[in-house]
Structure 1
């Protein structure tokens, strides 16, 4: 289908990710005038070649390719900023915009804004990660004042295994921590938590992938103001 003059939401996603594109497309079904396009950077398997920073050459290369389609926004739909620090995300979006002229955001920056808008919030953190990575993530959240009152992680390391988690296993994680938190947070963009819906066990469910899409949409001009 060819859309006449669509608004364009461009997304950078890890190469081993099989969730971001599906979630983005599903969320945009109700907005047929917004066209999703995607580019990938090399992140796969169990080893991150850049554990404490972004591969800026890869990121900016992906952003440049997306810019050829004249998108309205470029989103890094990845959860890594949650662990390496939001200054990396702020630097990344500044570099993307400087290089392409396109507004940009990330899943982690959208989470930060959501928490600021909501006020004090006890998070129930749901991830597929192994013990060491989860501990590092918890430390990073605490370091910026984000309160995690309960958590559940699955002990996995390979990002394809994250995407293969059955929804009932993810629902069980949510149900286990829901009584102890205000908001459930699924924090891995290659884990299909968004498929559980906006609420589980009486708690709002925020998902890293969905947050990235919502943040991108918020930066796209309304139809009357577009192009």
Structure 2
């Protein structure tokens, strides 16, 4: 019997060149699942008003409606802006996306936060390409969740396009340096980093779980559709678990009944 085709809709920053090939590479292990992308303008990551305004919900909803035309089964925002804007922004965004399209939604950051909650992470390592004040905002927002950033590395970049140009060896070294603090988990926090494929080697070397934000939204979108993620286990240990049953929260907010097993 032919397996039902599943379509993931992914919202993408316009200057991002990393998340599309990474997402498609992950999904190559699932021939019945495809990814479809819609862009909206994002070129700078900073706390300047113009940069913050790039994430106005009306722009995101316009892109989401294009994905709805493709009759995707779920919409995922593959971006980390809630890290500095506040996690409540993504919670509201998911509600607005579903209201506008009728399609369940999730985000990279809400998916990451769900994983951290389900695995009891209290000490986190954060690797990003961002400038100082953006990184500080991210750290403070995690502190409000009761998660301490015990080690961090960032590159001081603000041009979004430039993030994808960071070499693998630089990112791997940043992860290793942060690992010396022995966090409960490590996150590569930016969807325009070529970092998702570094998770499994890092986990083998350090025995610290590594959660890349391109991978987290794929993980959550598949689980929302009851898709077995274990064929993607080469992208990190978070994929190597079969879902028990569908989450009761499409947005990726943790719940006592979400049925995620670690």
Is 1:100 matched up with 2:105? no
Residue aligning to 2:219: 214
134 and 18 in structure 1: CA distance in 2 versus 1, 3 angstrom threshold: same
CA distance in 2, matches of 1:177, 1:106: 25
Residue aligning to 2:246: none
Q: Would you say the 8 A contact 1:9–1:35 is kept in 2? A: yes
Give CA deviations for 1:169-209 in whole Å, capped at 9, x if unaligned.
00110110112112111001111111213241312211011
Q: CA deviation at 1:143?
A: 2.0
Residue aligning to 1:74: 75
Where 1:175 maps in the other structure, the secondary structure is: helix
Is 1:148 matched up with 2:149? yes
Q: Would you say the 8 A contact 1:130–1:154 is kept in 2? A: yes
CA distance in 2, matches of 1:221, 1:46: 34
Structure 2 matches for 1:1-227, cutoff 5 A? 6-45=5-44, 49=50, 51=52, 54-180=55-181, 181-200=183-202, 201-202=205-206, 203-222=208-227
CA distance in 1, matches of 2:129, 2:198: 15
Q: CA deviation at 1:120?
A: 3.5
Give CA deviations for 1:140-164 in whole Å, capped at 9, x if unaligned.
2212222211011111111111110
Where 1:171 maps in the other structure, the secondary structure is: helix
Residue aligning to 2:239: none
162 and 4 in structure 1: CA distance in 2 versus 1, 3 angstrom threshold: same
Larger CA deviation: 135-144 vs 15-24: 135-144
TM-score (norm 1): 0.91
Give CA deviations for 1:1-22 in whole Å, capped at 9, x if unaligned.
xx99621000001001011101
Which runs of 5 or more structure 1 residues have no equivalent in the other structure?
none
Give CA deviations for 1:65-111 in whole Å, capped at 9, x if unaligned.
10011111000000011111111111111111111110100011101
- The alignment of Structure 1 onto Structure 2 pairs a total of residues equal to 221
CA distance in 2, matches of 1:112, 1:15: 24
TM-score (norm 2): 0.79
CA distance in 2, matches of 1:70, 1:186: 31
Which runs of 5 or more structure 2 residues have no equivalent in the other structure?
229-262
CA distance in 2, matches of 1:138, 1:80: 13
53 and 157 in structure 1: CA distance in 2 versus 1, 3 angstrom threshold: closer
Larger CA deviation: 185-194 vs 43-52: 43-52
Where 2:55 maps in the other structure, the secondary structure is: coil
Q: Would you say the 8 A contact 1:186–1:207 is kept in 2? A: yes
CA distance in 2, matches of 1:32, 1:62: 25
